[in-house]
């Protein structure tokens, strides 16, 4: 079999020839990649030359390139363009890769060399980046069992293998339940309140399925508009309950036992390594440093947000009773009532905004902003392959005109793609190698009569993921292990969340917010309303995020294994942040992919943590000018390009000149004056 995954791609920029890669190529390639990489590592581990940074730590950075590339391709496809074949292969690949990681991290001769360098080498001869890499490598070995005895190492291998497979299955179950549900509507009168474009999209989906009427799914561009605009309460109820049942039904996709097993395994793993809890293990390498600090941070925000949220909820209840005939608000009413209340009090209907945010203009706008800030230029190259017809590929050039990155963009939902939005990498950056970055979203598709028109929330999502992409594209470090988003997890959201701020600024909006039919700039009164929107119901929004943060921590605290009933535990934790009645057939945890499939376990708080950083950092842009060259250059040089080469607080202070001030977030949210 001619397997393209067994060699360096002979393509422009070594881009991925997706059409040449078949599912059956992955396992043979990964097995050979693993064997070759382990052989290369053994040469490092068993060399007779005394250990030095160059012949050991640096040498490790230059092995396994094909393995890293091929596993990235497989797991990225499994998220964005999966199939039954890809899912089966990913399940086969996961234990192979977990075993490989353990073979490396539990390689005693290799660890002894690194340990000797860490303990004995005069680090004055190392650069700051080299010192960071040495410490990261040493701690990576320790945190993956290098100090354990042989029996304990074998147990660690078993735990890691099982955890990897369970996380994959968790995500597959959520996707399966999401894809299994459709809401079929036969009568147009039942769609009263829905915007024309949403109805048109639902009609086209029904037509593609060869059925009459309209079809709605649990994909974001279908689910959210129905929950926000449909006046038919029965439809909202059906959709809401279906969304809340994902991973929590009496079928083969139920995730409750997986959650209980995952939290048990994570606790056991942490205990094996000498930590009180999984949270203690995770937070050792976070800016927050400890579970106590995170709890204090969340509780302080809760204390500030709850009174505001309570007042906002009372306003909603009164408005709903007086204007909508709803005397008791249920979970399926909140988005609908909130939108009606917003239209009444802010005189802002977000559907009026959508014509000013066609996807193509928003994309061109974020590219233009990146050019003004960082000198980047984006050129679409149709000769470079994507993994689906919706995917576009851009070559990215820097100020000097040098090739700097590839950017893949993938914006529309489809059955083989998980919900949500994310940035990922197909190839990382290191000295002599530029990165290949991808942003994946689920925006409203174009219809027969209109292009893809974004809600304002979708615009901020685009800017958010593009901020992550900038972190990857502007990376400029020597070693791949410290490049781009390889930073402390509660620092990784700063580049993404700060980008959202430009969505509210007149100078930025004038670059791209134009009516898709007339070309008219977004009116000034709309811009003023957007600024007010930034403060709208921030108490309730903050409370919602805090709820996820509290829930995440409880699943990973020292008492986590006392949890025996996922739904009961969740209800007890979330009751302090919810104003609607709990429904026994719904469960948030069973589709909480961030912590049970992604990398946010004991780390969901980092979204609010990063909001403190981004609010404080953006104040400098507001002070100097949102396109100020020196401020942007400083942010690029001290944050975006540096990756994990230094402690994030050191980098942040170098950019900002001081530690972040939490009041900046509370002030921006309108929670304090």
**Residue 673: pLDDT band by 50, 70, 90 thresholds?**
low
Q: Last residue of a domain, which of 235, 263, 281? A: 235
What pLDDT is recorded for position 532? 86
- Per mean pLDDT, which range of 205-209, 323-327, 405-409, 532-536 is the poorest? 532-536
* Most distant pair of Cα atoms in the chain: their distance: 82
Structure-token pair, residue 83: 């199939």
Q: What is the mean pLDDT of residues 69-88?
A: 97
Compute the distance between CA of residue 558 and CA of residue 201 in angstroms, rounded to an integer. 48
Structure-token pair, residue 217: 């799914």
Length of the chain: 673
- Residue 127 sits in a domain of what CATH number? 1.20.1050.40
- Read off the pLDDT of residues 272-312 as tens digits, 9 standing for 90 and up: 999 999 999 999 999 999 999 999 999 999 999 999 999 99
Residue 17 reports pLDDT greater than 80: yes
What pLDDT is recorded for position 1? 66
Burial of 10 (0-12, 13-18, 19+ CB in 10 A): exposed
Residue position matching structure tokens 């949500």: 420
What pLDDT is recorded for position 147? 94
Rg (CA), the chain: 25
One domain for residues 364 and 509: yes
Compute the distance between CA of residue 408 and CA of residue 656 in angstroms, rounded to an integer. 31
Three-state secondary structure string covering 469-513 = HHHHHCCCCCCHHHCCCCCCCCCCCHHHHHHHHHHHCHHHHHHHC
One domain for residues 121 and 190: no
The answer to whether residue 492 sits within a structural domain is yes
- Per mean pLDDT, which range of 229-243, 245-259, 528-542 is the poorest? 528-542
Q: What is the mean pLDDT of residues 42-58?
A: 96
**Nearest-CA neighbor of 421 among 378, 369, 472, 460?**
460
What pLDDT is recorded for position 123? 67
Instruction: Check if 58 is active-site.
Output: no
> For the chain, how many structural domains are there in total?
3
The answer to whether residue 594 sits within a structural domain is no
Q: What is the mean pLDDT of residues 178-192?
A: 97
The answer to whether residue 602 sits within a structural domain is no
- Read off the pLDDT of residues 218-236 as tens digits, 9 standing for 90 and up: 999 999 999 999 999 999 9
Q: What is the mean pLDDT of residues 233-258?
A: 98
One domain for residues 105 and 59: yes
Point out the catalytic residue in the list 137, 339, 465, 500: 465
- Read off the pLDDT of residues 90-125 as tens digits, 9 standing for 90 and up: 999 999 999 999 999 999 999 999 999 999 866 678
- Residue 403 sits in a domain of what CATH number? 1.10.1370.40
The answer to whether residue 468 sits within a structural domain is yes
One domain for residues 519 and 454: yes
Residue 375 reports pLDDT greater than 70: yes
Residue 647's SS3 state is coil
Q: What is the mean pLDDT of residues 313-320?
A: 98
One domain for residues 30 and 82: yes
Are 263 and 360 within 8 A, CB to CB? no
The answer to whether residue 107 sits within a structural domain is yes
Are 171 and 284 within 8 A, CB to CB? no
Which residues, at least 6 apart from 295, have a Cβ–Cβ distance to it below 8 Å? 553
One domain for residues 478 and 363: yes
Flag whether the pTM goes above 0.85.
Answer: yes
Compute the distance between CA of residue 543 and CA of residue 76 in angstroms, rounded to an integer. 32
One domain for residues 423 and 522: yes
What distance lies between CA 347 and its chain's CA centroid?
A: 32
Are 30 and 402 within 8 A, CB to CB? no
What pLDDT is recorded for position 121? 63
For residue 410, what is the enclosing H or E element?
A: strand 403-410
Compute the distance between CA of residue 219 and CA of residue 255 in angstroms, rounded to an integer. 20
Residue 667 reports pLDDT greater than 90: no
The answer to whether residue 215 sits within a structural domain is yes
Mean pLDDT of the chain: 95
One domain for residues 130 and 204: no
Compute the distance between CA of residue 57 and CA of residue 640 in angstroms, rounded to an integer. 24
Helix axes 65-80, 26-45, angle to 10 degrees: 140
One domain for residues 140 and 185: no
Query: Cα–Cα–Cα angle for 279, 280, 283, nearest 5°?
Result: 80
Structure-token pair, residue 367: 């590219």
What pLDDT is recorded for position 497? 95
One domain for residues 186 and 140: no
The answer to whether residue 560 sits within a structural domain is no
Question: Which of left, alpha, beta for 537 (phi over 0: left; psi -120 to 50: alpha)?
Answer: left
What pLDDT is recorded for position 296? 95
One domain for residues 137 and 209: no
Q: Last residue of a domain, which of 476, 501, 534? A: 534
The answer to whether residue 372 sits within a structural domain is yes
Which residues, at least 6 apart from 116, have a Cβ–Cβ distance to it below 8 Å? 51
Q: What is the dihedral of CA 321, 324, 328, 329, to 10 degrees?
A: -120
Q: What percent of the chain has pLDDT over 90?
A: 93
Q: Last residue of a domain, which of 173, 207, 235? A: 235
One domain for residues 102 and 224: no
Residue 6's SS3 state is helix
Q: Which residues span the domain enclosing 513?
A: 355-534
């Amino acid at each position: 079999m001619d397997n393209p995954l067994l060699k360096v791609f002979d393509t422009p920029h070594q881009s991925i020839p997706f059409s040449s890669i078949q599912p059956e190529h992955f396992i043979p390639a990964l097995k050979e990649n693993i064997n070759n990489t382990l052989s290369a590592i053994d040469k490092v581990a068993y060399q007779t030359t005394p250990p030095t940074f160059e012949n050991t730590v640096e040498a490790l950075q230059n092995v396994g390139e094909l393995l890293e590339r091929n596993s990235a391709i497989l797991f990225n496809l499994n998220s964005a363009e999966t199939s039954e074949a890809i899912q089966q292969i990913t399940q086969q690949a996961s234990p192979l890769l977990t075993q490989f990681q353990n073979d490396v991290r539990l390689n005693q001769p290799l660890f002894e060399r690194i340990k000797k360098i860490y303990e004995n080498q005069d680090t004055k001869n190392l650069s700051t980046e080299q010192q960071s890499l040495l410490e990261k490598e040493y701690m990576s070995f320790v945190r993956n069992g290098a100090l354990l005895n042989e029996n304990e190492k074998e147990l660690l291998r078993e735990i890691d293998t099982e955890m990897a497979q369970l996380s994959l299955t968790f995500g597959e179950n959520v996707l399966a339940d999401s894809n299994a549900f459709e809401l079929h509507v036969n009568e147009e009168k039942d769609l009263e309140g829905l915007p024309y474009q949403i109805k048109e999209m639902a009609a086209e989906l029904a037509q593609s399925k060869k059925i009459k009427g309209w079809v709605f799914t649990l994909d974001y561009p279908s689910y959210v508009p129905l929950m926000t605009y449909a006046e038919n309460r029965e439809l909202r109820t059906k959709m809401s309950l279906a969304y809340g049942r994902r991973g929590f039904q009496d079928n083969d996709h139920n995730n409750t036992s997986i959650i209980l097993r995952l939290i048990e395994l994570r606790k056991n793993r942490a205990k094996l390594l000498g930590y009180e809890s999984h949270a203690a293990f995770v937070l050792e390498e976070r800016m927050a440093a400890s579970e106590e600090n995170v709890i204090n941070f969340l509780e302080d925000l809760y204390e500030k947000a709850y009174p505001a949220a309570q007042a906002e909820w009372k306003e909603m209840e009164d408005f709903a009773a007086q204007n909508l005939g709803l005397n008791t608000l249920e979970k399926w009413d909140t988005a609908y009532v909130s939108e009606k209340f917003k239209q009444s009090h802010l005189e802002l209907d977000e559907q009026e905004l959508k014509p000013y945010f066609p996807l193509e203009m928003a994309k061109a706008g974020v590219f233009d902003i990146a050019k003004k800030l960082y000198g980047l230029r984006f050129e679409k190259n149709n000769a470079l392959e994507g993994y689906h017809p919706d995917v576009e590929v851009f070559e990215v050039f820097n100020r000097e005109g040098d090739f700097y990155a590839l950017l893949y963009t993938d914006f529309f939902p489809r059955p083989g793609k998980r919900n949500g939005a994310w940035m990922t990498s197909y190839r990382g950056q290191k000295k002599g190698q530029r990165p290949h970055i991808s942003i994946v979203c689920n925006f409203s598709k174009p219809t027969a009569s209109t292009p893809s028109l974004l809600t304002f929330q979708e615009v901020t999502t685009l800017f958010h993921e593009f901020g992550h992409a900038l972190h990857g594209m502007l990376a400029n470090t020597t070693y791949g292990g410290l490049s781009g988003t390889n930073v402390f997890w509660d620092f990784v959201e700063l580049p993404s969340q700060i980008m959202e701020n430009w969505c509210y600024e007149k100078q930025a909006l004038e670059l791209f917010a134009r009516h898709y039919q007339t070309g008219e700039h977004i009116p000034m009164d709309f811009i003023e309303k957007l600024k007010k929107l930034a403060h709208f119901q921030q108490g309730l929004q903050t409370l919602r995020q805090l709820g996820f943060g509290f829930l995440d921590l409880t699943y990973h605290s020292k008492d986590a294994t006392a949890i025996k009933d996922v739904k009961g535990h969740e209800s007890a934790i979330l009751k302090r942040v919810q104003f609607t009645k709990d429904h026994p057939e719904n469960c948030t945890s069973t589709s909480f992919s961030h912590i049970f499939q992604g990398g946010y376990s004991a780390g969901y708080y980092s979204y609010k943590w990063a909001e403190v950083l981004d609010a404080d950092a953006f104040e400098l842009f507001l002070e100097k000018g949102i396109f100020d060259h020196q401020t942007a250059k400083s942010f690029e040089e001290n944050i975006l390009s540096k990756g994990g080469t230094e402690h994030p607080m050191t980098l942040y202070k170098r950019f900002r000149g001081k530690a972040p001030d939490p009041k900046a977030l509370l002030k921006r949210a309108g929670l304090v004056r």
